[in-house]
Structure 1
Amino acid sequence: MKAAGLVAQGPLGPGLAILASMVSVNAGAAWAKGLFPLVGSEGVTAVRVGLAAVLMLAIVRPWRSLPTRRDAINLAIYGLMLGCMNLLIYGAFARIPIGVAVAIEVVGPLAVVVLSSRRARDFAWVLLAAFGLWLLAPVHAGVPPLDPAGVAYALGAAFCWAMYIVFGKRVSSLGGGQAVAWGMLAASLFTVPIGVATAGSGLLAPSVLAGGLAVAVLSSALPYSLEMAALARLPQRVFGILVSAGPAFAALAGYLVLGERLTGQQWLAIVLVVLACGGAAATAKR
């Protein structure tokens, strides 16, 4: 997508690309949750990833420049992580609140930051973000218990998100949206059959296809293109810190789209996470 590349230009471009990506993907997540009663989380994942793959292939036409063998292996792993991340996080959304699920999932990017950082300052921003995420977690008085399966799905998505960053960085040099297009194709090869097996012909209902198309654009084609454009210009650890704001955006999307009201403690958590991400972007090495 050319628009994604344009957003990532300039000194502030990568940060703005990540911001736009998080707004888009979380708005799409809240919209997708409304489709779960129709075809289940696996069915929504299939429609989202399948339609996003078709869109990216039609726009980018990546076959015009085939990847090398090394790139093809990295693309296959990138696509596998992409598909698993979608399946697992939607499975978590079906069982626990969106904001809580993303708060658990963001452990993946945070792990990338901790393992790749070399400066104490970066650890300080991570600790601030982690404290904000802890305030979002349901471990305080009056918060109902979480479905263990939902927590397990979110933890699995966290691992896939970390690997998505690692292998996404390796293929980000392909440019022109090629990495995203090939990755979405690889992801669709196993997510679509799983969705068909669980939802069957329900996936072809006009309301499901229309809603799935909106989710595919908001939560897959647009944000992954923006992230890939940003990855090409950002250090891996800085990217991981920036996307740590995901739970805050998820909580806001839940409030605006699903009417999930936020407590004062949750608003404080949002402020802390945003400050941590802004600080990391401001102090990161060029």
Structure 2
Amino acid sequence: MPATSPKSDRAALAPADLTTSAGAAPSRFGPVVLVIAAGISVQFGAALAVMIMPGTGAAGVVTLRLAAAALVLLLLCRPKVRGYARADWGTVVAFGVALAGMNGLFYQSIDRIPLGPAVTLEVLGPLVLSVVVSRRLVSLLWAGLALAGVALLAGHGGGEGFGGLDLLGAGFALGAGAMWAAYIVFSARTGRRFPQADGLALAMAVAAVLSLPLGVVEAGSALLVPSTLALGVGVAVLSSVLPYTLELLALRRLPAPTFAILMSLEPAIAATAGFLVLDQAMSAVDALAIALVIAASMGAVRSQTRKASA
């Protein structure tokens, strides 16, 4: 995975990334801890975002997160804006649009459905991308396994977890997954065109500008309340700045396939964060559905890795 774009490293099932590092040497336990810590930070940041949504709305939270993250990254990276071709700027703008769409749709989703199911549905985007690019018969097995998890999600009518999901919230989660797949493509291209994390910082600025009007319309002056601003910065640190840093450090010593498999655990981390922070209960059927999607993601990654090795 390109170390030039830390957030793009969260693109768990990017086939190009898997191909690049398939032959890397086994890593030690330390980088694995960093990746898991990054996942915990992201999902608990999302749980914190849910807590402040009643005051700002989902669009307001997205604006606070992206604006704060963009400000931090721009200050740290100080990216150059000269010397790039029109195609370079087109790529970084597309990356920013995908970033804004992925975050905006995801936060609209967790405003309506529990965190665990939302992340489970979102993961389907990168999973489908990996299956399509793989073009192997075994990939259909992993796709079927993921669909079984989704079927459990749709068919479980009782309980507080997957049962009785708000259809609009589920649709937003699936839309976020589609934007995640687009994000994977453009983040890799941005990483090849811009040095260090410059492309990420510029794309984050584009995403912040795109989200600002929606946030202002929905939240208005609530965005300027000191306590809300402080919580928004907390969400940005937990969901963006801290995990990007941890992942960047981990990926210097961790093979991309291992990283991708660890990223597949995020639905389980999200369900745990929802239970501990938001009191979102999870039944045995909910856990099984999450496990099926995680297994499908891991299987798709391993299949892609074997193909790259061959």
TM-score category (smaller protein): 0.7 to 0.9
Equivalent position amino acid for 1:160 in 2: M
Against the structure 1 CA distance between its residues 225 and 83, is the aligned structure 2 distance closer, same or farther, given a 3 Å change threshold? farther
In the alignment, structure 2 segments of 5+ residues that lack a partner are 8-20
Tell me, yes or no, if the aligned pair for 1:242 and 1:280 is still in contact at 8 Å.
no
Equivalent position amino acid for 1:142 in 2: G
Match of 1:140 among 156, 159, 171: 156
TM-score by length of 1: 0.82
* Matching residue of 1:38: 55
Against the structure 1 CA distance between its residues 203 and 245, is the aligned structure 2 distance closer, same or farther, given a 3 Å change threshold? same
Q: Which moved more, 1:57-66 or 1:98-107?
A: 57-66
Instruction: Verify: 1:171 aligned to 2:190, yes or no.
Output: yes
For residue 149 of structure 1, report the CA deviation from its aligned partner: 2.4
Aligned counterparts, 1:186-205, within 5 A: 186-205=206-225
For residue 276 of structure 1, report the CA deviation from its aligned partner: 4.5
* Matching residue of 1:212: 232
Look up the SS of the partner of 2:266 in the other structure. helix
Instruction: Verify: 1:73 aligned to 2:73, yes or no.
Output: no
TM-score by length of 2: 0.76
Look up the SS of the partner of 2:80 in the other structure. helix
Equivalent position amino acid for 2:170 in 1: V
Equivalent position amino acid for 2:186 in 1: F
In the alignment, structure 1 segments of 5+ residues that lack a partner are none
Look up the SS of the partner of 1:63 in the other structure. coil
Q: Aligned partners of 1:105, 1:62: CA distance in 2, in Å?
A: 30
Q: CA RMSD in A?
A: 3.4
State the Cα deviation string for residues 145-201 of structure 1 (Å, max 9, x = none). 333322232232122111011111212233422222111101011102211122111
For residue 239 of structure 1, report the CA deviation from its aligned partner: 7.6
Equivalent position amino acid for 2:222 in 1: G
Equivalent position amino acid for 1:101 in 2: A
Look up the SS of the partner of 1:106 in the other structure. helix
Q: Which moved more, 1:13-22 or 1:71-80?
A: 13-22
For residue 252 of structure 1, report the CA deviation from its aligned partner: 1.4
Q: Aligned partners of 1:17, 1:69: CA distance in 2, in Å?
A: 37
Against the structure 1 CA distance between its residues 168 and 19, is the aligned structure 2 distance closer, same or farther, given a 3 Å change threshold? farther
Q: Which moved more, 1:146-155 or 1:74-83?
A: 146-155
For residue 23 of structure 1, report the CA deviation from its aligned partner: 2.2
Equivalent position amino acid for 1:59 in 2: L
Match of 1:264 among 284, 288, 310: 284
Identity of aligned residues (%): 40
Equivalent position amino acid for 2:98 in 1: M
Equivalent position amino acid for 2:225 in 1: A
For residue 124 of structure 1, report the CA deviation from its aligned partner: 3.6
Q: Which moved more, 1:260-269 or 1:44-53?
A: 260-269
Q: Aligned partners of 2:101, 2:181: CA distance in 1, in Å?
A: 12
